[in-house]
Structure 1
Amino acid sequence: MSRQLCIHGHFYQPPREDPWMGEIFPEDSAAPSLNWNQRITRESYAPLAWARRTDSGGCITDILNCYEWISFNAGPTLLGWMERNDYPTYQRMVDADRVSIARWGHGNAMAQVYHHTILPLASAQDKKLEIAWARADFRARFGREPEGMWLAECAADTATLEELARQGILFTILSPHQAAAVAESGPDDRQEHWQPVRGGEIDISEPYNIELPSGRSIAVFFYNGPLSQAVAFERLLQDGENFWLKLSGAANGGLLTVCTDGETYGHHFTFGEMALAYTLGQAISGRDNMRLTNYATYLTQNPPTRKVRLHEPSAWSCAHGVERWRSNCGCTDGGHPQWNQEWRTPLREALNMMKKAVDAHTTAEAALFKDSATALEKYGEILAGSVPREAFAADNFTPGLTPEATKKAWQLLAMQEQALAAFASCAWFFDEISRIEPVNSMTYALRALEILKGTDGPTLESDFAAILEKARSNKTEEGTGRTVFENHVLPRRETKASIILQAMLRLWAEKRLPCPNIKNTVQWRNLTVTILPTDVVGGSLSGEARIRWANEPDGSPVEWEWMPPKAGTIHETAITITGKDGSRQTLRYTELPRNKRQAIAMRAMEVANTQRLDAFEEDAANAVALFEPWVEAQHDQPMGHHWKANAPALAVAYMKHPGLSDNQRRQLAQFLTDSGLLIGGGREVITNWLTMRLLRFIESASEPDAKDADRQWERAASIVERARTLLPHPDLWAVQNRMWETGFRSAGARRFATAIGFRV
């Protein structure tokens, strides 16, 4: 009997975007990456899109897009970030769904509730929005309706499943411990036909049906708990063959399904994606009479013959229903077993108070919409970018609104999105209220309260803080939830002064401060700032700025004065703005929150490094001519410290120019390696240059009308071979990916592919 295998990956990162700017600012704990989205993508999500299979010598024999062969869900907020910041990986995921439809008739991709909210704890309206917005996002990305949807933490109850079924979702995935009883499908529901499930002991080789009070039903798959646990926590991914044997040994008739977080492959276990690629390769080959499938395909071919009842409410990661997300139930993570989580209850109370006020205000302003509930549900299409704003407004706003009323309608919708973002499950998942996850949650709540007040709603910030005061941090220095809110959340709030100061500092970091009467623009996702200096007095600039938010056609002008920082004095710089009433506000650089100061520093370093890389080409040519070979007993250049200061240019010359004699090349390589300047930051600079250069070669040599393509491939291969004598294991990951997509169609291309690590 054929055995079928479905490996599912849950790809989720909490919403991290700053609610004012709409971008993710630096996160210290993710260093050296910019933020955790970037770090996890580089360590896990991207490697899964280009998973290497190698021979015994370490040469690449195949690059597998694992997403083509596994079931997966990815959070809408994560996919949005990936589309903007790592489009190649994003596109591999989208393409994989299309390929799996062509292969099996149904796609690998599943939807996920929009903000990873624990739906059993959400209101009926919020359940509807989280599911509807997720569907809208899925349609925009994958071009079809989702058949299945992943519930945050697998948290389920009847009301949640009813809403899934009402919106056309056919199935979801749960933990076997959530099953309470099973029975044969049929019209007779008498209690004696129901068999209790104890300790998660349920036949997981088939889907089950859940019959709902409305008369609808939804199918559910149960994953293999022990095996999923072994993959996630027991180092099963250290060896691909061992992984395969575990799977093969656990599979009987029907379906074997394993579910883990996507970051398991690479972030938690280095090269875990290679173990997965090996295992997928075994199944693709038909080894042990096992073949791959996805949930929708299996469900179509094997409709449920039995039904199941659940423990309600329940979730995979809490032994107490869904108490982990509202009380001190004992389920936690974070490495401090002596800490308590009494803070969870007041945090949820504060957020619930905020959300009820937001909902009441939206209802009070319902006259702005043709139907406010429909407008809210359809707003997911705006978030997904699938409907023009003008068309949405025409379909959903009351005709004849003034510009101010139209602006208010957009603000109310944005307020709801910020309020929902505050309920992402990770705010309660870990062990301390001062962690980044609860702080981010409170930040979204602050933005929602700010919009509430700004659209003629009540002022509730002090009430919100008063509830948080009941939450006590496990860290004495952090105090209560109120002090966490005041010390870590309120400083993040943007004002006109903070926005204009950041715009000026961005221009300064990018070395493009405008001259008087010349406009310049700084843009973030949610807003645009136009700067117009009008006067310079003693080095101090003054002028006009215009802040335009995404939902506003025009921004109001603001007068400002600013003294650009001299070298080493950025901590002293401050901006002063003047209001329409003549009031003045001054804000210093040091008053910006840490992550926004870091963003300025990062941009300044990025620009400086780019300029340095651009200068390498010219410096490299000079370095070749000026580096004299050693004479007897010589081991360094005279004034060697000057040469060492230019080590990157010398390294570029070494890699790029074939005209060096063997003796000169050997001595230059020895000088560079002995200097220790090609480790750490120096290695990164050289690797970046090498990557950019080789990618240019690939693009140029791959053009249909490329002249001397084989000669270009030969030059590129020679650069790689010279680079390996300086950097024995250069990071050519991006180059290898691009070359794999390009193909090895000519002798020159095959020569280059061999040089960068392929077995051709």
Structure 2
Amino acid sequence: MPEKFLCIHGHFYQPPREDPWMDMVFPEGSAAPARNWNERICRESYGPLAFARRLDGSGRIMELLNCYEWMSFNVGPTLLTWMEHQAPEVYARILDADRKSAERLGHGNALAQVYHHVIMPLASDLDRQAEVAWAVADFEARFKRRPEGLWLSEAAVDDRTLEILADEGIAFTILAPRQVAAVDDEGGQWRETDEGGLDITQPYLVELSGGRSMAVFFYDGPVSQSVAFEGLLRDGERFWQRLSGAGSSGLLSLATDGETYGHHFAFGEMALAYVLAQTRAGRDGWRNTNYGAYLAAHPPKRRVRLRQASSWSCVHGVERWRADCGCSTGGHPDWNQRWRGPLREGLNAIKTEMDAHFLGAGQKVFRDPAQGLKDFGKVLAGLWTPAGFGERHFLPGLDEQAQDTGFKLLTMEKWALSSFASCAWFFDDLGRIEPLNALTFALRAMGLAQRTGCRDLEPLLLSHLGQAASNDPVMGTGLDLWNREVRPRRETVESLLAQALFTLWAEARMPASGKSGTAVWPGVEVSVEVGGLTNDDQPSGKAVIAWRHEPGLDRCRWIWEQSESGDPMASCVRVESPERGSLKCVPGQYLPWEKRQDLAVKWVSGAEARIWSRELEQAAVGVYLFNSFREAQRTQTVAEHWERFWAALCWTWIMGQVPGRGDLLGFLRQTGQNHPDAHELCRRIGEAICGFLAEKSPDWRRIAFILSRALDLGLTTDLWAAQNTYWLRRERGVTDAEVARLLWFTE
């Protein structure tokens, strides 16, 4: 019987969403009620793939399959950075999946990815080398091994890109079959071909200059298309039948956006888990593999030549990322994408100037500016400290100010590269969030360029943006968008101080006179010292701003003038800066929506937590004062007041702080029907159960008691995270039959 191998690849990527001053993802209104799209898609796709439910006929959970352990995958470095801090349990499953697959197959499932998802054939050599070097460093830091393969953004490729991959030790990549131009016949004769004339069950070799080469896999286009766009994930068995019928020997390889599973198609991860379980069991002779393992066992026997500057998502090559080629998402057939050209040209123009500035100014601080840029990825990945980088790359004898300039130059290049992420051109309009984010990254990079001695590049960029226009007349031209949406995002000393003071106030951490407090974001810290009150009884003090990786500090004095209206957004922060003089910031007028929303989220989260704590204090008394009903009584006297404390009363009863009381239970059950606080209460209960399950020695009786009482109230507790936590304990041999039953497991 011929050998049959299945490799399903998921390309997991989100556009860079980080604010380039704070280096964190701020609220995105379209993702609500989630804070941002990373959070929302993680809950819909990345998390479910790490804990995919496999159910029996009665709907109980047989297994939580870590799909990453049985599929090939790449995850964008910027997305992994977010996930490491905001979804650590999912992040840990991804790392564990690569380790276990390497133990099983001798090669890990994970591939590296171009760092900022730039379109490589459209990038300069300096940028391409940095993007690959940073990707490799990030991968090594996370997966503790060198990457064998690397996913190219949009599978966009040319021979020069492959040469750069080969120089970094990359052995293979994955492309669409229509990207091949010619194939040899093993006898040295070349013939032109298209996707229909290529045997995609084997890897091929691309010969490069200087004796280098790169192995290339080609995924199955029709089956991948069915998965991504044709609803194949609605039924696991149907998915399996399509796959098993698509190949008879060799390798069957699929490649789609990873978000297909769960985000684009709800519960798609369950269909994938079903298929992966079939290959794990060897059904119909199929075996699970990954690209590295298959390449080691089946090295290329034939060569191919590629279509230069081609991609998997544009039939015109790479025109989608620089021209109105006709490729779009299809949602607005009457729109044009003529804005793509000016956007690309403008960003290219300022990047060329910034690169020249980096290499020129860099000669005064770096031993080798280009090599320093490549190795800066090791600092971003945490492999090197800034001090360690300085020892290797700074010229001897540099003072702190010169070192600060060096790190500003490197950070300038980081954000300039971010502005070229492919998503800025992929969609249908200039006014979308992705192009606006790209321009925001450019704004930050230009600011750093100017601070390190470069001329003001904004007029150069705007000369190109003036030639671009949104399809929506309300949005206007590129200049309109720049002035209305992008320029207000620029951070200043006064805007940072305003956000720091507001954060400390909203989180009830505002220091007393003579004390200090710190507001921390990943990219910057603001330390505030309160000196006392002014003659007008306004708080005042000093502040120090410290930027990540940069040894230099910004210092200033401040006064926080409170608004007489009581509106905190109308307050005014006045700053005296040695460099810029007297400045002011009124949050409601000067801060962009994302920053105002973040401050609002901090306030409402803190206020809600304080109110909940007070409600629990009241409920702890109220449960004892809730008298039993008299004859013909159907509800409690002044029921509307008791209903106000419904969630806290439920919590107190569920946690067993009072014995069962029949009329109280009935009242809570009746009041809970469609109660607006029910969803949040169910989330709190699930979170509490997670905490109890994570304890070194779980109190199983207590957990079962809480779950049972929640059921008695008719609550639909959010058990997703609790089930995941239980499964992780189960994998370590820690189980309890009753808790498993209450969590809807088969055991």
TM-score range, shorter chain: over 0.9
User: In structure 2, the residue corresponding to 1:523 is in which secondary structure?
Assistant: strand
What code does the residue aligned with 1:497 have?
E
What code does the residue aligned with 2:680 have?
V
Q: Distance in 1 between matches of 2:293 and 2:422?
A: 30
Q: Is the 8 A contact 2:561 2:574 kept in 1?
A: no
Q: Distance in 2 between matches of 1:581 and 1:174?
A: 52
Deviation at 1:543, TM superposition (A): 1.3
Alignment of 1:292-303 (within 5 A): 292-303=288-299
Post-superposition CA distance 1:395-419 (Å, at most 9, x none): 0000101111110011111111111
Q: Distance in 2 between matches of 1:746 and 1:467?
A: 62
Q: Which residue number corresponds to residue 716 of structure 1?
A: 703
> 2:719 aligned with 1:732, yes or no?
yes
> 2:698 aligned with 1:699, yes or no?
no
Q: Which residue number corresponds to residue 96 of structure 1?
A: 97
Q: Distance in 1 between matches of 2:634 and 2:664?
A: 14
Post-superposition CA distance 1:705-757 (Å, at most 9, x none): xxxx6xx3122112112212435432111111111111289998221121111
Q: Which residue number corresponds to residue 505 of structure 1?
A: 502
Post-superposition CA distance 1:161-218 (Å, at most 9, x none): 11112221111000111112211346x3xxxx22222354421111111111332111
Superposition RMSD in Å:
1.8
TM-score under structure 2 normalisation? 0.97
What code does the residue aligned with 2:209 have?
P
Post-superposition CA distance 1:418-443 (Å, at most 9, x none): 11111000000001011100000011
Q: Distance in 2 between matches of 1:481 and 1:138?
A: 36
Q: Distance in 1 between matches of 2:579 and 2:120?
A: 47
Deviation at 1:13, TM superposition (A): 0.7
> 2:741 aligned with 1:751, yes or no?
no
Moved more, 65-74 or 193-202: 193-202
Moved more, 174-183 or 687-696: 687-696
Q: Is the 8 A contact 1:616 1:652 kept in 2?
A: no
Q: Which residue number corresponds to residue 237 of structure 1?
A: 233
Q: Judging changes above 3 Å, is the alpha-carbon distance between structure 1 residues 445 and 236 closer, same or farther for their aligned structure 2 residues?
A: same
Q: Judging changes above 3 Å, is the alpha-carbon distance between structure 1 residues 455 and 234 closer, same or farther for their aligned structure 2 residues?
A: same
User: In structure 2, the residue corresponding to 1:551 is in which secondary structure?
Assistant: coil
Q: Judging changes above 3 Å, is the alpha-carbon distance between structure 1 residues 285 and 634 closer, same or farther for their aligned structure 2 residues?
A: same
User: In structure 1, the residue corresponding to 2:558 is in which secondary structure?
Assistant: strand
Alignment of 1:325-724 (within 5 A): 325-333=321-329, 335-365=331-361, 366-537=363-534, 538-564=536-562, 568-580=566-578, 583-590=581-588, 591-615=590-614, 617-657=616-656, 659-661=658-660, 663-674=662-673, 676-677=674-675, 679=676, 682-700=677-695, 702-703=696-697, 712-724=699-711
Q: Is the 8 A contact 2:682 2:715 kept in 1?
A: no
Deviation at 1:659, TM superposition (A): 4.7
Q: Distance in 1 between matches of 2:481 and 2:666?
A: 58
Moved more, 609-618 or 81-90: 609-618
Post-superposition CA distance 1:460-497 (Å, at most 9, x none): 11121111101111111222111111111100000111
Alignment of 1:51-62 (within 5 A): 51-62=52-63
> 2:103 aligned with 1:106, yes or no?
no
Q: Distance in 2 between matches of 1:15 and 1:624?
A: 49
Q: Distance in 1 between matches of 2:495 and 2:260?
A: 39
Q: Is the 8 A contact 1:654 1:668 kept in 2?
A: no
Q: Distance in 1 between matches of 2:409 and 2:240?
A: 52
Q: Is the 8 A contact 1:546 1:555 kept in 2?
A: yes
Q: Judging changes above 3 Å, is the alpha-carbon distance between structure 1 residues 746 and 128 closer, same or farther for their aligned structure 2 residues?
A: closer
Q: Distance in 1 between matches of 2:564 and 2:689?
A: 38
Identity %: 46
What code does the residue aligned with 1:112 have?
Q
Post-superposition CA distance 1:260-284 (Å, at most 9, x none): 1111111111111111111111111
What code does the residue aligned with 2:743 have?
I
Post-superposition CA distance 1:24-61 (Å, at most 9, x none): 11011111111111111111001111111111111111
Q: Is the 8 A contact 2:205 2:300 kept in 1?
A: yes
Deviation at 1:554, TM superposition (A): 4.9
Post-superposition CA distance 1:640-689 (Å, at most 9, x none): 22111111111112322275446335413333224x32x4xx12321232
User: In structure 2, the residue corresponding to 1:306 is in which secondary structure?
Assistant: coil
Q: Judging changes above 3 Å, is the alpha-carbon distance between structure 1 residues 601 and 658 closer, same or farther for their aligned structure 2 residues?
A: closer
What code does the residue aligned with 1:14 have?
P
Q: Distance in 2 between matches of 1:378 and 1:126?
A: 13
Q: Distance in 2 between matches of 1:39 and 1:305?
A: 44
Q: Which residue number corresponds to residue 27 of structure 2?
A: 26
Deviation at 1:570, TM superposition (A): 2.1
Q: Distance in 2 between matches of 1:61 and 1:44?
A: 20
Q: Distance in 2 between matches of 1:582 and 1:163?
A: 44
User: In structure 2, the residue corresponding to 1:552 is in which secondary structure?
Assistant: coil
Unpaired segments ≥5 residues, structure 2: none
Q: Is the 8 A contact 2:367 2:393 kept in 1?
A: yes
Q: Judging changes above 3 Å, is the alpha-carbon distance between structure 1 residues 140 and 248 closer, same or farther for their aligned structure 2 residues?
A: same
Match of 1:265 among 258, 261, 268: 261
Post-superposition CA distance 1:214-266 (Å, at most 9, x none): 32111111111111111111111111111111111112110001111111111
Q: Distance in 2 between matches of 1:504 and 1:311?
A: 56
Q: Is the 8 A contact 1:53 1:274 kept in 2?
A: yes
Q: Distance in 1 between matches of 2:438 and 2:463?
A: 16
Q: Distance in 2 between matches of 1:62 and 1:615?
A: 40
Q: Distance in 1 between matches of 2:615 and 2:203?
A: 60
Q: Distance in 1 between matches of 2:615 and 2:93?
A: 33
Q: Distance in 2 between matches of 1:28 and 1:636?
A: 41
Q: Judging changes above 3 Å, is the alpha-carbon distance between structure 1 residues 510 and 282 closer, same or farther for their aligned structure 2 residues?
A: same
Q: Which residue number corresponds to residue 706 of structure 1?
A: none
Q: Distance in 2 between matches of 1:658 and 1:477?
A: 58
Q: Is the 8 A contact 2:50 2:68 kept in 1?
A: yes
Match of 1:291 among 287, 294, 297: 287
Post-superposition CA distance 1:372-416 (Å, at most 9, x none): 111111111011011111111000000101111110011111111
Q: Is the 8 A contact 1:162 1:214 kept in 2?
A: no
- The number of residue pairs the alignment matches comes to 743
What code does the residue aligned with 1:597 have?
R
What code does the residue aligned with 1:445 have?
A
Q: Distance in 1 between matches of 2:615 and 2:531?
A: 38
Q: Which residue number corresponds to residue 319 of structure 1?
A: 315
Q: Distance in 2 between matches of 1:324 and 1:56?
A: 47
> 2:284 aligned with 1:279, yes or no?
no
Post-superposition CA distance 1:584-605 (Å, at most 9, x none): 2222121210000000010111
Unpaired segments ≥5 residues, structure 1: 704-708
Q: Is the 8 A contact 1:20 1:447 kept in 2?
A: yes
Deviation at 1:633, TM superposition (A): 2.6
Q: Is the 8 A contact 2:619 2:645 kept in 1?
A: no
Q: Distance in 2 between matches of 1:614 and 1:490?
A: 41
Q: Distance in 1 between matches of 2:297 and 2:573?
A: 66
Q: Is the 8 A contact 2:174 2:218 kept in 1?
A: yes
Moved more, 565-574 or 687-696: 565-574
Q: Distance in 1 between matches of 2:37 and 2:105?
A: 34
What code does the residue aligned with 1:685 have?
E
